[in-house]
Structure 1
Amino acid sequence: MKSLLILFILLFSMGCSENKITNMQLVEKYYDGFQSSNFLQVKNIIDDSLTTVYGDYTTNFTKEKYYEQFKWDSVFKPDYKLISLKKSETAIMATVSISCSKFEFLKNNPMICNYEFQFKAGKITRIEELNCDNVNWDVWENQVNDLVHWVEINHPELDGFVHDLSLQGAQNYLKAIALYNARH
């Protein structure tokens, strides 16, 4: 009887350890969720509190607030390609190619960026953009400034789109790009 109990515990613990998802797999699932527009998949692998760092901008999200970011991002029809994953002692480094209509307008399509992912208790807790070596930030900034200036003069109803990270803000951003491109 005692050996049967030990055998059962051993088999149960082996089954549980085989089902444990690795941090590398979490990052793969994260980008797969964005690529397939499946927020439920993303929601299940991020922590209740997620921090993102992009340059000087640090943002803390709840899952609900991150869903707003997810919806904003999806408006631009992004195409995510995970190029590589590397494991460090405390994090996973991901190199990702992202193409979308916004980056195309900003003349930096695709963007290839490196990110550091950190984890706690099997969930993603922090994503930091380390660099985007192929991006020409001067061209990016000029395109944004030209668009914002043109919109202020010609379509003031869309003014503020560039800082509005809501679904409506992203839709206004796309509308501004379309109007700007059609002006000739």
Structure 2
Amino acid sequence: MKKNMLVLFALIMSFSACKDSKTEKDPITLVREYYALLDTSDYDQIPVLLADSLQTQEGDYNPTYSHDGYEELLKWDAVFNPTYEVLDIVPEENGLYKATVSKIDTRIQFLHEKPIITDNYITITDGKISGVRTEYVDFDNETFGNNRTKLLTFIDEKQPELNGFLHDQTEAGGRKYLKALELYNIQPRFDLGKDLLLMHFDCKTDVDDLQAAAGLRTLMSHPNFMHVNYHAVAGTYGIQEGLYVPPNDLFQLAFGTNWINAHNRMEAAAEEVAQKVVSVLEAQGDIRIAEAGQSDFSAHLVKVLQQKLPELKTNERIHIVQHSDWNEEVTTPELLAFVKKQTNYHKIPDGNAVGNGTPGFRTPGYTQWKEEVTDPELKSVWELAVALSDKYNGKEGRYLNKAIEENGLDFSDLSEVCWMLKLEDIRDTEEFFERYVQ
């Protein structure tokens, strides 16, 4: 009998071992489920996936978490509604697994303005994750730092009761952080009674500036914005090669005397614009610059203003909005560095794309404007903008704009003005015309 009991016990243990071996997760599945836990905030999975203590490391910061401590951290993280996307998982030497992960949330969108991508080296012990070491793959330290400084300065001056939110990684601390972001974001970006909008068009070598000018005139003609104090400047190019796209006839039709030509006369034009700007600044208005091109002209303008108004805090009173990586790449490097330091420089998602947080105003095959624009003056502006676009697009070595070649529109630079006026919820070209033309 005793022998039979021993055999039965051995069979049970053998069955149990087989069952455990079948249910134990393979490492790649374990890593994927770990990031699913982070993505869904499923705290019940913490003891299932993690060892009793989790060692983490980001640079010189290397805390170790218990299950309860890690749950508190995840509750902080969950406040910002994060999205984790696993881009790749590969085995490394010494039993490590490298997971390349993209993360975006409310906090990161404000500070970094795009997802942060990291390589995460995962240690697995006895079928559970026991260590995570993080290295940054795509992290814009300058943008992150500048936006963090803006937020902290605002909170310190306007909402000091929220101070301390930055380092409080508890759920309560996360909610304070989120409140700080909400208060910062509801600030008016443009004071209709005081501020001046400058839109600087490079007109070299892409014809999209012609259509952006038509878009600006359209928006400024709408009853909601017809009292905006604005001024256009043409020829504000940087160091890009290629021929100029002559915009004078269009700008004269669209803006009358409300524009200045900087083509081949940048220094003189900067002096002329400065005369308009000084009166606004002295009346306590701010200057909002939409860069429909590069920042070379803006840098010259700021330098003139610093000479005329040496007490002016240009990094508080002059605001520049840029949406294009290419525009930054063909700005004179030292002048780009100058405006980023000397102004409140803000980079927004590219206006050539749809669904990234700003309007997407580049639409091949869009011809509906011909029926939608019924105002005779606006119609003549759009007709001339499109005619000149067709005339110069891709000609004599100029950039070939595919959307315009395909009988469409591209006024992507207007996304910057929409952001200034808090119209970034406009989705695309069609919605723009529905709202502000019909």
2:138 match? 134
Partner SS, residue 31 of structure 2: helix
Deviations 1:135-169 (A, max 9, x none): 10111011111111110111011001011111111
2:66 match? 62
Distance 1:10 1:60 in 2: 36
Match of 2:167 among 155, 160, 163: 163
Partner SS, residue 82 of structure 1: strand
Residue identity over aligned pairs, in percent, reads 30
Partner SS, residue 76 of structure 1: coil
Asked whether the 8 Å contact 1:29–1:42 carries over to 2, the reply is no
Match of 1:152 among 149, 156, 167: 156
CA drift of 1:107 comes to: 2.9
TM-score (norm 2): 0.39
Partner SS, residue 109 of structure 1: coil
CA drift of 1:109 comes to: 2.1
Distance 1:115 1:61 in 2: 17
**Backbone CA RMSD of aligned residues:** 2.0
2:198 match? none
Match of 1:23 among 6, 20, 27: 27
Unaligned runs of 5+ in 1: none
Distance 1:48 1:18 in 2: 23
2:115 match? 110
Deviations 1:159-183 (A, max 9, x none): 0101111111111111111111112
Distance 1:19 1:44 in 2: 12
Deviations 1:120-140 (A, max 9, x none): 111111111022x22101110
Distance 1:50 1:84 in 2: 22
Partner SS, residue 95 of structure 1: strand
Number of aligned residues: 182
User: Does residue 123 of the first structure (1) align with residue 128 of the second (2)?
Assistant: yes
Unaligned runs of 5+ in 2: 189-438
For 2:60, the aligned partner's letter is D
Distance 1:139 1:49 in 2: 34
CA drift of 1:43 comes to: 3.0
2:57 match? 53
Structure possessing the higher relative contact order (Cα contacts under 8 Å, 6 or more residues apart): 1
Q: Which moved more, 1:154-163 or 1:99-108?
A: 99-108
CA drift of 1:9 comes to: 7.0
Distance 1:30 1:12 in 2: 26
Asked whether the 8 Å contact 2:100–2:118 carries over to 1, the reply is yes
For 1:104, the aligned partner's letter is Q
User: Does residue 101 of the first structure (1) align with residue 136 of the second (2)?
Assistant: no
- Cα 1:80–1:178, aligned 2, differ >3 Å: closer, same or farther? same
Deviations 1:3-38 (A, max 9, x none): x97988766544432211122121111111122220
1:82 match? 86
Partner SS, residue 47 of structure 1: strand
From the two aligned structures, give the one with the greater strand fraction: 1
For 1:105, the aligned partner's letter is F
Partner SS, residue 116 of structure 1: strand
Partner SS, residue 58 of structure 1: coil
TM-score (norm 1): 0.90
Deviations 1:84-140 (A, max 9, x none): 100123211001111111111013421111100102111111111022x22101110
CA drift of 1:50 comes to: 0.7
1:175 match? 179
